[in-house]
């Protein structure tokens, strides 16, 4: 079986789906690798390092698609609306594609993959179960995003994070609030704490209070009825508008005393909830920073514009996109390990096997044998449920 590695062609994307060190995971499976020249260069992995691991360098991108049984990407066509159509034209019937693909929202891309009879496995749909933890690419990328968000905020804030005792007097520490205590939020809390800030964390899931406090942060409690705020996959669940209205009302007073607010609240496949309104931003002190890493999902702040910096009353609101790509070496390393572990799980007797009775396969398989097979994607398309396999 041949696995193809291609350069990422999505604008601004610097990651690569497979790195030399991750190839060892598949050493005993009989897998061969074919790579487009220079695929790992922007992430810091030259062709020579791949060649040392037995990877064959192709003469062209088209050769990879023509020869590979499985193609691995970071951004497959659905997650690359700008240039993904070019790769769709190169895919062939019976081929397997693995990568991020925004399947719950990029419905046209899913249809096109089905029409080309490609079996597409979406990494963002990996179930959050114990045996799939090592394949959870969303968590890996969230770790990178949470870390980088704090560095960007520290750079933008017109004050230093730590408390310092100087000859000119004592410098008070910056106050940082992280909204959302998932993987990205917890990494942001840990990073801000290491930089010396006074850190608080908030999440609608009261169960994460212990995790927040274990990192040295204060858990913010808003006196409101949350109900069941976590879905079966461990993600925060979308709540009703009345809940969010009450949450914003109580959160306004908390924000007024913070120098940096980092928002990470996102619900897979849905628009991010608005947690910070214009009025709340107006209550913050001039020079404060809002770092909204849910910007790609529409943002948690009413003023967020994805990919831009907005200023309102002296407060800067950042809407960074694709933060993992800004640290491509380690982001690629983590993602490649997730992909390699997933491939090893799927390979039986030297061939990739898609057992649709298996929970991991069933949850990630979007298209197969000419059909869209994922229940949630079919529902989003308005298609009837398929018969149970």
Helical ranges in the chain per DSSP H: 47-52, 61-67, 84-88, 107-115, 137-156, 183-194, 209-214, 241-255, 278-282, 328-346, 359-364, 375-381
Question: Nearest to residue 77, comparing CAs of 14, 3, 8, 4?
Answer: 8
**Catalytic residue, candidates 119, 139, 140, 333:** 139
DSSP annotation string for 164-184: EEETTEEEPPPEEEEE--SHH
d(CA 347, CA 246): 49
Q: How many residues in total does the chain contain?
A: 389
Active-site residue, 139 included: yes
DSSP annotation string for 27-79: GGGT-EEEEETTTTGGGT--HHHHHHTTPEEESSHHHHHHH-SEEEEEE-GGG
Q: What are phi and psi of 253, to 5 degrees?
A: -70, -30
DSSP annotation string for 279-298: HHHHTSPTT-EEEETTGGGT
Contact 116, 91 (CB under 8 A): yes
Active-site residue, 133 included: yes
Residue 59 CB neighbour total at 10 angstroms = 9
Angle at 191 between CA 253 and CA 41, to 5 degrees: 130
- Residue labelled with tokens 């000419």: 370
**Catalytic residue, candidates 235, 244, 329, 345:** 235
**Catalytic residue, candidates 136, 140, 203, 211:** 136
Active-site residue, 50 included: no
Q: What are phi and psi of 328, to 5 degrees?
A: -65, -30
d(CA 345, CA 187): 28
Question: Nearest to residue 82, comparing CAs of 23, 9, 177?
Answer: 9
d(CA 96, CA 3): 9
Q: How is residue 319 written in tokens? A: 């809407």
Active-site residue, 48 included: no
Active-site residue, 211 included: no
Q: CA of 212: how far to CAs of 208, 219, 334, in Å? A: 6, 6, 24
**Catalytic residue, candidates 111, 117, 128, 194:** 128
Which of the residues are catalytic? 128, 133, 136, 139, 235
């Amino acid at each position: 079986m041949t696995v193809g590695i291609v350069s990422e062609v999505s604008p601004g994307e610097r990651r690569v789906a497979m790195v030399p060190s991750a190839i060892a995971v598949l050493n005993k499976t009989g897998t061969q690798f074919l790579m487009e020249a220079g695929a790992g260069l922007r992430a810091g992995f030259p062709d020579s390092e791949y060649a040392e691991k037995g990877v064959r360098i192709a003469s062209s991108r088209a050769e990879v698609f023509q020869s590979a049984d499985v193609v691995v990407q970071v951004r497959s066509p659905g997650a690359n609306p700008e240039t993904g159509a070019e790769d769709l034209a190169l895919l062939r019937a019976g081929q397997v594609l693995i990568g991020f693909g925004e399947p719950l929202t990029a419905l046209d891309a899913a249809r096109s993959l089905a029409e080309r009879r490609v079996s597409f496995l979406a990494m963002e749909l990996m179930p959050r179960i114990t045996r799939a933890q090592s394949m959870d690419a969303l968590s890996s990328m969230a770790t990178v995003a949470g870390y980088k968000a704090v560095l960007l905020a520290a750079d933008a804030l017109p004050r230093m994070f730590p408390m310092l005792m100087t000859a000119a007097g004592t410098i008070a520490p910056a106050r940082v609030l992280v909204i959302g205590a998932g993987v990205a939020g917890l990494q942001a809390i840990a990073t801000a704490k290491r930089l010396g800030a006074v850190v608080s964390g908030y999440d609608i899931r009261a169960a994460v209070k212990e995790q927040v406090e274990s990192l040295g942060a204060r858990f913010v409690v808003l006196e409101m009825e949350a109900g069941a705020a976590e879905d079966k996959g461990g993600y925060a669940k979308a709540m009703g508008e009345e809940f969010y209205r009450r949450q914003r009302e109580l959160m306004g007073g908390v924000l007024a005393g913070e120098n940096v607010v980092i928002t990470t609240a996102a619900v897979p496949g849905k628009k991010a909830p608005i947690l910070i309104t214009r009025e709340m931003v107006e209550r913050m002190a001039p020079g404060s920073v809002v770092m909204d890493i849910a910007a790609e999902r529409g943002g948690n702040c009413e003023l967020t514009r994805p990919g831009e910096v907005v200023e309102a009353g002296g407060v800067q609101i950042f809407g960074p996109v694709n933060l993992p790509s800004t640290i491509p070496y380690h982001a690629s390393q983590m993602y490649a390990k997730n992909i390699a572990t997933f491939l090893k799980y799927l390979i039986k007797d030297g061939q990739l096997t898609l057992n649709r009775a298996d929970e991991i396969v069933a949850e990630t398989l979007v298209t197969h044998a000419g059909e869209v097979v994922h229940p949630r994607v079919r529902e989003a398309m308005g298609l009837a449920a398929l018969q149970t396999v």
